[in-house]
Each structure stands twice: as C-alpha cells, then as structure tokens.
Amino acid sequence: MEHFKYDVAVIGTGPGGEGAAMKAAKEGKRVAVIEKHRIGGGCTHWGTIPSKALRHSVSRLIEYKSAPLFREKGGNISFSFPEILRAAESVIERQVKLRSGFYQYNNIDLIEGTATFTGPNQLTIAQPNGANEVIEANDFVLATGSRPYQPDDIDFNHPRVYDSDKILTLGYTPRRVIVYGAGVIGTEYASIFRGLGVKVDLINNRDRLLSFLDDEISDALSYHLRISGVVVRHNETYDKVIGGDDGVELHLKSGKKLKADIFLFANGRTGNTQNMGLEDIGLHPDRRGQLKVDQDYRTELPHIHAVGDIIGYPSLASAAYDQGRFAASAIIEGQCHHQLVEDIPTGIYTIPEISSVGRSESELTDAQIPYEVGHAFFKDLARAQIAGQTVGMLKLLFNRDTKEILGIHCFGERAAEIVHIGQAIMCQKDGGNSLDYFVNTTFNYPTMAEAYRVAALNGLNRLF
C-alpha cells in the first residue's frame, strides 16, 4: 500500500477544490487532489455547465423559430432532448481537458478514488482498481459539493422518476413533464423542456416563484413562463408519487392529481459529507450534510477547512472558487485577509434569463431607505430590436438623496452578462458609486449596455 505526505490535501475538483488547490500550489505547497468521479465535479458534469449548455441550445432554437426572416424561408427545425444533451457533452469534455491541464501545469497530484478519514491527518483512498492508497497531510480542504435531495418516499429507481442529476441520462423527448420544485433548478428545467415543446407542470410549494428575487422580476418570470405554456401551481405539496409503465402520477395534498411521462424532483440539495469518516475525527455535519466554518473557512478542527455547497450560502460556483482560494490563503498565512464581496450577483438561466445584484425593493422598503427606480425596457433598445430579443428590462434602484446605486435587476437575454456593468460601478468607493456615471458616460451604440443610460435617465426623471 502506497503512502504519501503532502502539505495540503483537497477533496473534490469542483470550483471550490480547484481554487484551493491552485492557490496552495502557486504558493509552493505540495498538493494532492482527490476526485471520486471526474475532474470538474458536479458543477461540470451534472450542474452548472450541462444545464446552461442545454438552456443555450434551446434558447437559440426559440430565437430561430421566432425570427420573421427564418419563418419566411420555411423549414421547421426541431431537436430532441438527447440531441441537445450531446451538444452539452461536447462542452463538458472541453472543460475536463482544460481543467486537467491546470493540475498538470501546477504539479498537483491528482488521485482518483473515494477518500475516507482514517485519522485526523490521514486519508485512505479507495481507488477504482480496488487498491487503497493512504496519504497524510498537514491541512485539508473539503470541497465535495452537493447532490439532489431525495425524499425516502419517492422511488428514484423507477425509470420515469428523475432528479436533476439523473435527468441528464434521459434518452428521449417526453410529451409531458411534471417538475416538482420551483427553485432555480426547477424553473430552469421547466424553461428548457417547454422550449422543446414539451408540456410542463411546474409545482411550487411556495406562493411565488423565486421569492428571493425582486417582486417585479419574480412576477415577470411567472408571466413569461405562463404565456410560454408552462402551467405553474403555487402552494402545493406532494402526497405521493406513483410510477407506472405508461407514466407517473403525482398526488398533491390539495387533492389534485397530475399525470406525465416523467417526473422531475428538483426541490433542494444535500451536502456530500456522508461516508467520509468525518464523525470519527470529531466533525458532525447537520441534517443537510453541511459543516459549520469560521471566517477563515475552518471547521471545528483547525487544520480542516470546508468550502462550497457543503457550507451552505451562497452555494454558487463563482463564490465557491473564491472560497477555495481564501481557505488556501488561511492555511498559508494563518488567516484570510479577503472575503466574499458583500453583494454577490445571482444568475438564473431560465428563458428569459435573470440576474441581480444588491437589494430588492422590498428589502429597501423594510429598511426605510429612500430609493427611486429607473427602468429600461429591452423593446425600446435598438440592439434588442436588431437581435429580436425584445423581452426583458433593466431595473436600477438608487438612493434618491445621494444617487448611490443600491440594486440592479435584469430580466431578459444576456441578463447575467449585463448585470456586471452595474456591479462594477456599485463596488466603487468614495462617491464613485453614483447613477451619474451612467448619465455622463458614452456607451457604444447600439448595445445592450445602453440600457444603463436609459434606466438612469428614467430614474432621474422621477426625482423632484
């Protein structure tokens, strides 16, 4: 049995693990990374990358079908779910190749297998070939990500019952889908399936979609999902799911019954901390599989750090990478001198897309902060008209006394790109965060960025 000693051992190669490994290696540490599946982790293979690649293909299909020029030429193009999956797989392979190179270039030992703590500073790694490898390290970073939550009373082994990982194995295009859970993942997949022409029932156990969003944006998403043909059912909870040979029945506690070709459960996630021997060394994840950490991402054992989905909020790939870097900095320097930005942007890849940064109207109202609103509707922008992407808007919230930008909310194609322009201004200090920037700067024309000038002027016109 081989036995090696490292300065830092990282478990998981998702964004958090990659960030920690690269930072430690570049600071001269001897680093090992252990991966149970494939390089890139859940983010690359089951979560962020595949779902966004699927969404992109479907969005382009919708764009083509709605363009008058293409309609005039005739031709009814359609794609099956397996066909757009293959397009996503090509992106995944390129990501794996790219990220594999990062570890090679930085002389990081990549070990394939399942890691279990067999001592406070020791891991035993069960490798695919049946062999065990033991490594020791001075410090550890746990970046094992999360998996879809699966209630015990739903049979996920049934061929018509899926979670957000298993759905990527679907080998045909269903006629009708029930999506249970109207969070980020559920609404994204509802958009994808509806874009393929599939009938979709979206079951929400709350009273509105994505309630953490600004109300106007949440309402816009609900409206556009409904007019696209998605049936949205609020305040519903499942009673039982019955899988049969010809479909799946969903019985709701309200008494309603629905039937579809497949059932997609997308209601919550659980941290991947099981079967790692954590309890044996004194670490006890909560019922959601998450670990508590301090401001330096240390767990209750100071030499073991945790980042990403297994520590909870914000559970974003972008934030996990930074958390990994910060944890490695804490290992190297004794403490971390950096922290996540206060206003973390959110990107939701529904159709249309959503992104926001900063506070919402309801948050500002509750805090009794005097604010005003500026809107720019995509239908009025020349670039949006040229591209045929006229659904959407940019919304700026700003302090009516100081003109400080307090929140940016965007709904429509490329929203997750557009929001970063405003984010850059929001981060400016010493008076640099001001609505006046968008009024006084010169934007390329025609561009989507011009929406900031339009929204700023719209907001200023509301002042008195």
Q: Which residues are annotated as a binding site?
A: 52, 144-146, 181-188, 268, 309
Give binding residues for NAD(+) as ranges. Answer: 181-188, 268
Dist CA 259 CA 176 (whole Å): 8
| Bridge partner residues of 409 (DSSP) | 356, 395
Q: Which long-range contacts (CB under 8 A, 24 or more apart) does 335-342 make?
A: 335/296, 336/295, 336/296, 336/297, 339/295, 340/314, 341/427
Q: Phi then psi for 57, rounded to 5 degrees?
A: -60, -45
82: Cα within 13 Å, side-chain hemisphere: 6
Q: Which of 179, 202, 221, 172 is nearest to 415 (CA)?
A: 221
Amino acid at 236: E
Q: Which residues are annotated as a binding site for FAD?
A: 52, 144-146, 309
Inter-CA distances, 389 with 61, 220, 405, 415, Å: 13, 15, 26, 11
> Residue 371: which H helix or E strand, with range?
strand 371-377
**CA quadruple 243, 244, 250, 253: dihedral sign:** negative
Q: Are 238 and 180 in contact (CB under 8 A)?
A: yes
Contact indicator for 331, 142 with CB cutoff of 8 Å: no
Determine how β-strand 231-233 pairs with β-strand 199-203. parallel
In 3D space, the residue among 434, 435, 387, 396 whose CA is nearest the CA of residue 414 turns out to be: 387
Rounded CA-CA distance 256/178 in Å is 13
DSSP string, 221-241: HHHHHHHHT-EEE-S--EEEE
As a whole number of angstroms, the distance between CA 215 and CA 407 comes to 13
